[in-house]
Amino acid sequence: MIKILLVGGGGREHAIAHAISRSEHAHQLFAVMSKKNPGIAGLCEDFLLNAENDIEKVTEFALRTGIDIAVIGPEGPLAAGLADALDRAGIPSVGPKRAVAKLEFDKAWTRSFMQKYGIDGLPLFKIFNRDQEDAALKYVDELGDVAVKPAGLTGGKGVKVMGDQLPDRDAAKAYVSELLAQDVVVIEENLKGEEVTIHAFVDGSHLAFAPSVQDHKRAYEGDLGPNTGGMGSYNDVGHLLPFMNEGDYEAAKQIMKDVVARVREETGEEYRGILYGQFILTAKGIRVIEFNARFGDPEAMNVLPLLETDLIDIARAVTEGTLDAIDVRFAYKASVCKYAVPAGYPENPTKDAPIQVGDMGDALLFYSSVYEKDGVVYTTGSRAVAVVGIADTLQEAEQIAEQALNTLEGPLECRHDIGTQALIQKRVDHMKSLRDKNK
Ligand code: AMP
Ligand code: GLY
């Protein structure tokens, strides 16, 4: 009997729990989550409702329940050093230690690290601290069109891009000044292209890659409105997205392999867990937006249900450094994931409202930021539940997801355009026009 601890209580973690529940190994699942996610609770032997960043309590629970392997879902506990604490207690984790989780929680460090080792995919960038405001503002003029990023963890919401959240160069400069008062700032060239997520399982030296996924950050249909953690995502049959070619995927994989090899050289620590590469495919090739030290949410809900290899075998291999000895396979299918979010999300979301889910038909349902009380499921104000359609074509997958959305009751909204032919064609046309311009 193998005992697995899952840390985290969102949609991503429900997808991890679901994948573990499909394992053929005799196992028991335990969880630590801040609120009672009914999907995870239903798959667990026992769970602790506690802050996930509370290293001491999580470690204590892991020791008390006799955990063999921990799977750490969110970035918070990784940045807080949970994998280090569990390791000291003799429990291996799928999730990197703090020294290498830095790839996610310190964007300035990661950019400098990539530059130091000559890793491909870097945009033009410079890093500034509070004493360098003049130079920072001059650099905005030099690049002309920029993305401005606080160096620390922001949940994807602190980055602002010109032509998007920053209407013009003056607005970009004002944001630089505002951020410099509190944090180190990274100023980068504004990359134009299509975004791609690629996950890999990593065992310190080997990487096993998942199919490419595209997330949708903007809150409203037509890619309008404020940025969110992600409103939904899709993958196509195979490992490429409709606007990518094999060379783009290979280039991205090589960058991730280089990062894993070099981060060990730089820190002396092996990267074991999930590496999430967020890329922009530009007319000039693939560029790195950022790395995360965990699965994407929603992207995990696309790729984990497609996983054909036993996740417990993968988890063991990740912690033992034997990933090269197993064949990590994903089903050759398309999937579309759509999030239902509380009405008014993200700016003025409806909190503590009861919601109901109906017959999911062929779709999968993942609970995210909700809590269950006396058998009723309530919204929290963040992304509530996600539905996933899986099929031989994107079109069928999208329709399965839509049918499932129709069964949801309560004050919820979603982006119906995610995964539709029309929106995907827009992405393909966008990429083609950028490539044509570059000829
Ligand atoms: P992040 O928090 O790093 O995931 O960034 C949030 C969003 O900002 C990304 O999903 C991109 O859409 C955008 N972004 C980040 N960096 C750049 C860049 N250098 N050029 C254009 N867009 C960017
Ligand atoms: N969906 C983006 C992320 O998980 O960071």
265 within domain boundaries: no
Residues with CB under 6 A from ligand 2: 156, 215, 229-230, 292, 296-297, 299
166 within domain boundaries: yes
85 and 153, same domain (yes or no): no
49 and 134, same domain (yes or no): no
Comparing CA positions, the residue from 342, 318, 324, 332 lying closest to residue 410 is: 342
163 within domain boundaries: yes
293 within domain boundaries: no
Judge residue 415's burial from the number of C-beta atoms within 10 Å of its C-beta, 0-12 exposed, 13-18 middle, 19 or more buried: buried
Give the residue, by CA position, lying nearest to ligand 1 atom 15: 289
27 and 84, same domain (yes or no): yes
Please give the tally of structural domains in the chain.
Answer: 2
The total of other beta-carbon atoms located within 10 Å of residue 108's CB is: 20
353 within domain boundaries: no
84 and 129, same domain (yes or no): no
Residues, the chain: 439
Q: Which of 48, 73, 103 is the last residue of a domain?
A: 103
23 and 75, same domain (yes or no): yes
pLDDT (average), residues 77-104: 98
The total of other beta-carbon atoms located within 10 Å of residue 176's CB is: 21
Least confident stretch, 40-54, 154-168, 190-204, 384-398? 154-168
More confident residue, 155 or 252: 252
* Average pLDDT of every residue of the chain: 96
Ligand nearest to the CA of 195: 1
Judge residue 75's burial from the number of C-beta atoms within 10 Å of its C-beta, 0-12 exposed, 13-18 middle, 19 or more buried: buried
Distance 210 CA to ligand 2 centre (A): 15
Task: Tell me what pLDDT residue 80 has.
Answer: 97
182 within domain boundaries: yes
283 within domain boundaries: no
Distance 355 CA to ligand 1 centre (A): 32
Each residue's pLDDT tens digit, 170-220: 999 999 999 998 888 999 999 999 999 999 999 999 999 999 999 999 999
56 and 140, same domain (yes or no): no
Instruction: Give the nearest ligand 2 atom to 297 CA.
Output: 4
Q: 141 is in which domain, residue-wise?
A: 124-189
Alpha-carbon span 350 to 60, nearest angstrom? 35
Does any ligand 1 atom lie closer than 6 A to the CB of residue 289? Answer: yes
Ligand nearest to the CA of 107: 1
Alpha-carbon span 3 to 324, nearest angstrom? 24
Give the residue, by CA position, lying nearest to ligand 1 atom 16: 289
Query: Cis link prior to 92 (omega < 30° from 0)?
Result: no
CB 47 within 8 A of CB 37: no
- Does the pLDDT of residue 66 top 90, yes or no? yes
Helix (H, G, I), strand (E, B) or coil at 380: coil
Ligand nearest to the CA of 8: 2
Each residue's pLDDT tens digit, 110-153: 999 999 999 999 999 999 999 999 999 999 999 999 999 988 76
Alpha-carbon span 129 to 408, nearest angstrom? 47
Q: Which of 161, 189, 217 is the last residue of a domain?
A: 189
Instruction: Give me 27's structure tokens.
Output: 């196992």
- Write the CA distances from 179 to 76, 123, 164, 184, 271, integer angstroms: 21, 20, 18, 8, 30
Distance 103 CA to ligand 2 centre (A): 14
- Does the pLDDT of residue 155 top 80, yes or no? no
Q: Which of 213, 227, 274, 297 to mutate to test the pocket of ligand 2 (most atoms within 8 A of CB)?
A: 297
Q: Which of 136, 158, 189 is the last residue of a domain?
A: 189
77 and 30, same domain (yes or no): yes
pLDDT (average), residues 54-74: 98
CB 388 within 8 A of CB 367: no
17 and 81, same domain (yes or no): yes
Task: Tell me what pLDDT residue 424 has.
Answer: 97
- Write the CA distances from 401 to 297, 302, 327, integer angstroms: 17, 12, 29
Helix (H, G, I), strand (E, B) or coil at 78: helix
Residue 152: which CATH number? 3.30.1490.20
Alpha-carbon span 311 to 327, nearest angstrom? 11
CB 414 within 8 A of CB 340: yes
435 within domain boundaries: no
12 and 86, same domain (yes or no): yes
Does any ligand 1 atom lie closer than 6 A to the CB of residue 211? Answer: no
Alpha-carbon span 47 to 241, nearest angstrom? 37
Instruction: Give me 427's structure tokens.
Output: 């992405």
CB 19 within 8 A of CB 308: no
